[in-house]
Structure formats: C-alpha cells, structure tokens
Structure 1
Amino acid sequence: MNDDEQAAEELLQQSGEQKRHNSEPSTEETTDARSLQDAIVDAYEAIDDGDSSSNITVRDENLAALVRGLEDVDELSDVAEAARDELDRDEGRVSRSQTLGDLARVGLDVVAPEVIEDGKAARKEFVLSQEDEF
C-alpha cells in the first residue's frame, strides 16, 4: 500500500469512529433566525440593485423533454392557460418563461401554500418600501 492509499485508509477509519448527531431537529423558532419573508425582501432588493439575477435555472432532462413535447404538439398554451386559471390571472397568451414560472407557483401552492403567502407578503413589503423612497 502506498502512502496515498494508507492516508486515505486512515481517514476512512477515523471517519467511521466519529459519532453521528442523533438529536431531533428543533421545531422551536429562534429569535435570531431570519424569516423567509425577510429573506425574500432582501432577494427582491438584490435583484432590483442588479446584485442578483432574476433568472432561475432548472436542469431536468425529463421536464425539458415534457415542455418541448408540449410545444411541439401546440399544447403548452393549454397548460399555460390552466396554470393561469389556477392562479386567477388573465393575461391571454404568455411566454414560455411565464408559463414555467406559473407552473412553479401552482406546484408550490400545492405543497407549501405558506411559502406562497410569505412570497406575496414580501413582494408587498418590497413594493411599499420602494414607494416610500423619495
């Protein structure tokens, strides 16, 4: 066994001897913890200041194939309309990007409606803070 293999073996042995943390996650909110709403407001400010991008990227082969397939058979607009109906939005024909954003919002609303509510409240807070600036 060469020196590299021996060093790797020693690290492996040491890591196996370390104890794992077995306590349950705390459900209590700490006063030091930053709220999701505050984090979203900060993200809006960073985007507005040009310090952060307004784009998000998803690398998902299956989702990409599904969306492209929907486009190829001219059904993406039907899915877009269904998403917009679910969100109570009426803008007629929308872009692919808007459609994917709307679908993400619908999905988030299904699995974590409180997150959507935090996002709405944060958006209002951000917009109001912009109006307060003279």
Structure 2
Amino acid sequence: MDITAAQGVSTANAAFAEAYGSGDIPALMEVFYAPGARVDGGAMLPSTTDADTIIGFFQAMRDQGFHTAELATATLADEGDMAVETGLATLAGEGGQRAAIRYLVVWSTSSGAWRVHTDFFAPAEG
C-alpha cells in the first residue's frame, strides 16, 4: 500500500530529527536523503551531492552544540510521485542556543519510501 506524500514526509522528517538528535548522522543520510540527493545550503553548505560532505556539515552543526532538530512543514504540494515542501528547521543546543533555517525540499518516492531529492536551505531572517 502506497503512503501519501504527507504521511511519507512526516515520517521522514521525524526520522531526520531522531537520527540528528542521537548523533547518528550516517543514519540521517540513509533515512532522509535519496542516493545522489543535491543539497544546497548557500553560504552554509555550497551545493553538493557528496554524501561525506553532507554528513560533515550536519556533524559540524552537532559539534557546534546544536544537538536537537525540529522540522516544521509550512506547505506541502503533492504531485503524485514527487512533492515540494517548504518549512522551518530549528536546531537547538545547550544554554538556549538556537538556529532557525528555512528550507525548500523536493521529495520523490519509489517503493513507498519518500526521500529528499533536492534540499535548499538558508538561515531564517529575523
């Protein structure tokens, strides 16, 4: 039985938060990103499809003290086997440090699993 984009994205976002929070960044790649996914964080992370570079970025965020992540969907357009999501990621750490990041993600599905195909993000203004 196929799951809807909303169900798949919600499940994948929760898996991202769990893997990031536990510090298992390689698992984050496995449960969240499709193989060869393009990730572009502008000045934070120049555009790449290299899994080791993406893992290094998220590990560096954890090393800076950001130990939890919450992804909040603002919009989700379901286009059948693809979907487009916008939202706000909040990374938090000890002592109240927080980073707010806006994102736009293109999702794709195969075999019922929704994974990120393209991920664009940048620090949230204000």
State which structure, 1 or 2, has the greater radius of gyration over its C-alpha atoms.
1
Give the structure with the larger strand fraction.
2
Task: Tell whether the structures are fold-level matches, with TM greater than 0.5.
Answer: no
**TM-score bin (small chain):** under 0.3
TM-score (norm 1): 0.24
TM-score (norm 2): 0.25
